[in-house]
């Protein structure tokens, strides 16, 4: 039953004002608390979008804006159903027979847009686990309080609000449904630094709706033309919303929402509180100027609310890799979990490309990494050389991790514990570089390689070869001034090339220090000739760009192809995205095939069991009839038995009994009396044999229960309908970066 039909079937006499019950110190409607276990256990999906606000902070407005963005600015598509059906209110538990919000959400196909008023710590944890995108709207506390007061007057389910002063006192104390405004906006403000949350201000949308709509669209991964933005602005104006029956809640009957008292869409203005506030309680409320944030004491600029929007926004490539990864690791619907249940081992894709930089001593590996990330992360200098293996990755703050922490951060490198000495020389440097591609890359800086009696505290050759198997790209730097022809470097490169030659890229680093152009060419020829002497490398075509770190204070005429390294890294990222999406589809097909095999095997097992059942019953009946035949043998199979029954029953009764078993008696008369015992044991043997055959035949093959079969089909349908659809959408988003919309269509 959909929401509208449920409303029509309601009994108005059953409506009553609800009481407040606290959950973790937050007052909630009693019906929400009664269903709390189900709400807390709500299963979010990776592609869910959640719109969350404090009540009456612009929720419906944001819902309509988001739906218009999703529908490409088409108002007709947004008129398909009332807003509360298009975007379920997950914690709302209305009177029966209306389904709860979480039941409505569970019945929806993906991708879903959902609504909640929960404070950050009461949001169902699956939203964090699935890394769902969340849009939070904050509104001036005074306007918010006025709007919430009038909603209490209108709603027949909300607790008694009292008069304005009584309500305001409760509001400030946080003794109303969904608790304290202060805790709510501050909690979500802090959460935006840890999760993909777009923090939007009601007043900003009123001031410049077109700009905020573009910001929202960018967060959702959509590109809107100016005409579409204008259409959305017009459609979501307060005047339009107020007369839109699909958005103004006019489809809700008055016994639930009496809009004769006050319309659901009341004024929608900024500063309406000035007409309502005459109470001395006004003084404790915080000032809300457009230049500052809720709860921020430093008066930071409003743009700081969403540092990821504009400039440092999450790129399409990042989002594709993140969302593809989440499709694998979802606790309930992840492909890894589904695959395990089918006997498949599926590996989730990594969210970053691993680039190993190796080379001889003083080849400039660390200097290149510092140049790329635009921060001085690795120590460099004449007498400084990397002694161990260091991962350089991006993060929220500058941090250094030791070996154990590094292995915890990169669990797929746990096997390094088997390399004696390596964990002690393993570390991670986390930096906050704003370099555009760096969030997609993890660099691995390696020890400088030298020949001679140099001893390493670990098996450097074995470790580098093993790293080469797991890394996506291997940059090999040769130093023209040092041991450019280091045999140890060449040995390792030759070994890696045997299985992973496609990952290797060779560069002559520090090319500006090699003297004149003739000197550089001579060094290049020596390196290439040495590489070609190697049996495993002589079939390769060597392209060895010359690179060096640019220095404005030290101009050089040497050709610098260092940007070629950047392009190579970008190409590897692009290939990784494509491989990830291709692997996603391949794994979906593997799941489909494995599921189909299980279902076909189950059907075969059921058919086999059906036939086996009838064969077993037939053999069992034969096996059971033979003992009866033997019993009759004992009764009438001998002359002595017939004489005995005549003596006991009399001749007439004995003859009557014998008449009933005449067919059997006739058969036994054909058996010579001296063979009777032999026939008896023969029939006994046959009886036992038939019963054993029946028991063997009745052994049933295991089959799936109806529940197991339904779960298999549901998971298969989820993979085919949701995951593959998501994969196609991610591919389109990724391709849209490079080609025109018309070409994509």
- Rounded CA-CA distance 367/355 in Å is 15
Give catalytic status of residue 195 as yes or no. Answer: no
- The answer to whether 409 and 372 are in contact (CB under 8 A) is no
- The answer to whether 663 and 632 are in contact (CB under 8 A) is no
pLDDT tens per residue across span 179-231: 999 889 988 988 887 788 999 999 888 888 888 999 999 899 888 888 888 88
Of 97-101, 155-159, 449-453, 457-461, minimum mean pLDDT range: 449-453
- Indicate whether 282 pLDDT > 60: no
Q: Of residues 70, 117, 325, 330, which has the active-site annotation? A: 117
- Residue 558 or residue 139, greater confidence: 139
pLDDT of residue 700: 83
φ and ψ at residue 429, rounded to 5 degrees: -115, 120
- Rounded CA-CA distance 373/43 in Å is 38
Say what percent of the chain tops pLDDT 90.
Answer: 18
For residue 549, give the nearest of 514, 510, 520, 515 by alpha carbon: 510
Q: How does residue 39 score in pLDDT terms, banded at 50, 70 and 90?
A: very high
- 245 CB contacts (<8 Å, ≥6 apart)? 82, 251
pLDDT of residue 622: 79
For residue 586, give both structure tokens: 């391949």
pLDDT of residue 237: 83
pLDDT of residue 664: 63
- Rounded CA-CA distance 392/377 in Å is 8
Q: Which helix (H) or strand (E) holds 259?
A: none
- The answer to whether 68 and 240 are in contact (CB under 8 A) is no
Q: What is the mean pLDDT of residues 511-531?
A: 74
pLDDT tens per residue across span 630-686: 666 556 555 666 677 777 777 777 777 666 666 666 666 676 767 767 777 777 788
Q: What is the mean pLDDT of residues 392-418?
A: 83
- Indicate whether 484 pLDDT > 80: no
- Residue 10 or residue 80, greater confidence: 80
pLDDT tens per residue across span 415-434: 888 888 888 889 999 988 87
| Residue 740 DSSP SS3 | coil
| Residue 300 DSSP SS3 | coil
For residue 547, give both structure tokens: 């690179």
pLDDT of residue 658: 66
For residue 219, give both structure tokens: 């967060």
- Rounded CA-CA distance 234/353 in Å is 44
Q: How does residue 290 score in pLDDT terms, banded at 50, 70 and 90?
A: very low
Q: How does residue 137 score in pLDDT terms, banded at 50, 70 and 90?
A: very high
pLDDT tens per residue across span 90-126: 998 887 778 888 999 998 888 999 999 999 989 998 9
For residue 502, give the nearest of 459, 468, 546, 461 by alpha carbon: 468
Length of the chain: 745
Edge to edge, the sheet with strand 113-116 lists 113-116, 49-53, 133-138, 197-201
Q: How does residue 7 score in pLDDT terms, banded at 50, 70 and 90?
A: low
pLDDT of residue 569: 92
pLDDT tens per residue across span 455-468: 788 888 888 999 99
pLDDT of residue 741: 45
Terminal CA-CA length for the chain: 37
For residue 424, give both structure tokens: 């002690």
pLDDT tens per residue across span 565-624: 999 999 999 999 999 999 999 999 999 999 999 999 989 988 988 888 888 888 888 778
User: What is the 8-class DSSP label of residue 629?
Assistant: H
- The answer to whether 9 and 1 are in contact (CB under 8 A) is yes
- Indicate whether 743 pLDDT > 70: no
The helix-helix angle for 639-649 and 562-636 (nearest 10°) equals 70
pLDDT of residue 280: 46
C-alpha distances out from residue 653 to 248, 646, 668, Å? 95, 8, 20
pLDDT of residue 587: 93
């Amino acid at each position: 039953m959909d929401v509208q039909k449920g409303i029509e079937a309601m009994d108005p006499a059953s409506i009553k004002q609800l009481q407040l019950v606290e959950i973790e110190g937050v007052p909630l409607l009693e019906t929400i608390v009664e269903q709390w276990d189900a709400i807390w256990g709500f299963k979010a999906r990776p592609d869910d979008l959640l719109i969350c606000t404090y009540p009456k902070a612009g929720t419906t407005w944001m819902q309509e804006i988001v739906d218009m963005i999703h529908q490409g600015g088409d108002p007709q598509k947004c008129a398909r159903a009332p807003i509360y059906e298009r975007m379920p209110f997950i914690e709302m538990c209305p009177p029966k027979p209306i389904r709860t919000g979480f039941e409505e959400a569970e019945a929806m196909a993906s991708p879903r847009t959902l609504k909640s008023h929960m404070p950050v710590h009461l949001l169902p944890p699956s939203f964090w686990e699935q890394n769902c995108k969340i849009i939070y709207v904050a509104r001036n506390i005074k306007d918010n309080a006025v709007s919430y007061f009038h909603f209490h007057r209108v709603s027949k389910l909300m607790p008694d609000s009292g008069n304005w002063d009584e309500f305001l006192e409760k509001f400030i104390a946080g003794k109303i449904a969904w608790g304290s405004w202060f805790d709510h906006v501050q909690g979500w403000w802090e959460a935006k630094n840890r999760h993909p949350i777009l923090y939007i201000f009601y007043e900003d949308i009123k001031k410049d709706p077109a700009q905020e709509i573009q910001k929202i669209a960018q967060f959702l991964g959509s590109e809107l033309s100016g005409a579409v933005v204008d259409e959305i602005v017009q459609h979501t104006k307060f005047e339009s919303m107020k007369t839109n029956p699909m958005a103004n809640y006019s489809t809700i009957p008055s016994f639930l929402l009496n809009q004769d008292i006050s319309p659901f869409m009341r004024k929608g203005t900024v500063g309406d509180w000035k007409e309502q506030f005459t109470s001395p309680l006004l003084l404790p409320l915080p000032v809300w100027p457009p230049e500052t944030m809720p709860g921020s004491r430093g008066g930071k600029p409003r743009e700081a609310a969403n540092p990821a929007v504009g400039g440092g926004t999450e790129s399409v490539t990042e989002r594709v890799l993140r969302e593809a990864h989440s499709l694998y690791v979802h606790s309930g619907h992840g492909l890894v979990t589904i695959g395990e249940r089918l006997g498949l081992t599926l590996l989730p894709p990594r969210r970053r490309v691993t680039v190993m930089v190796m080379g001889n001593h003083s080849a400039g590996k660390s200097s290149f990494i510092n140049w790329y990330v635009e921060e001085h992360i690795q120590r460099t200098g004449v007498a400084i050389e990397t002694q161990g293996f260091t991962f350089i990755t991006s993060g929220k703050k500058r941090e250094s991790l030791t070996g154990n922490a590094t292995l915890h951060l990169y669990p797929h490198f746990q096997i390094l514990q088997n390399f004696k000495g390596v964990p002690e020389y393993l570390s991670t440097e986390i930096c906050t570089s704003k370099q555009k591609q760096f969030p997609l890359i993890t660099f691995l800086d390696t020890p400088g390689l030298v020949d001679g009696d140099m001893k390493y505290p670990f098996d450097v050759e074995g470790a580098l070869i093993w790293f080469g198997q797991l890394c996506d790209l291997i940059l090999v730097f040769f130093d023209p001034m040092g041991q450019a022809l280091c045999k140890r470097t060449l040995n390792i490169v030759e070994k890696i090339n045997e299985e992973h030659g496609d990952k290797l890229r060779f560069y002559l680093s520090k090319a500006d220090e090699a003297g004149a152009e003739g000197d550089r060419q001579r060094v290049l020829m020596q390196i290439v000739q040495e590489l070609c002497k190697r049996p495993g490398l002589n079939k390769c075509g060597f392209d060895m760009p010359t690179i060096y770190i640019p220095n404005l204070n030290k101009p050089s005429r040497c050709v610098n192809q260092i940007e070629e390294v950047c392009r190579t890294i970008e190409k590897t990222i692009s290939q990784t995205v494509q491989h990830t999406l291709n692997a996603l589809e391949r794994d979906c097909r593997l799941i489909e095939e494995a599921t189909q095999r299980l279902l076909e095997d189950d059907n075969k097992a059921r058919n086999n069991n059906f036939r086996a059942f009838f064969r077993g019953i037939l053999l069992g009946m034969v096996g059971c009839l033979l003992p009866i035949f033997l019993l009759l043998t004992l009764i009438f199979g001998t002359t002595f038995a017939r004489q005995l029954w005549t003596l006991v029953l009399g001749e007439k009764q004995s003859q009557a009994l014998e008449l009933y078993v005449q067919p059997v008696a006739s058969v036994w008369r054909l058996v010579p009396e001296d063979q009777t015992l032999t026939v008896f044991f023969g029939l006994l043997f046959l009886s036992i044999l038939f019963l054993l055959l029946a028991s063997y035949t009745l052994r049933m093959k295991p089959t799936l229960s109806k529940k197991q079969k339904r779960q298999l089909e549901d998971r298969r349908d989820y993979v085919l309908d949701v995951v593959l659809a998501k994969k196609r959408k991610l591919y389109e988003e990724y391709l849209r970066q490079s080609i025109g919309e018309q070409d994509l269509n």
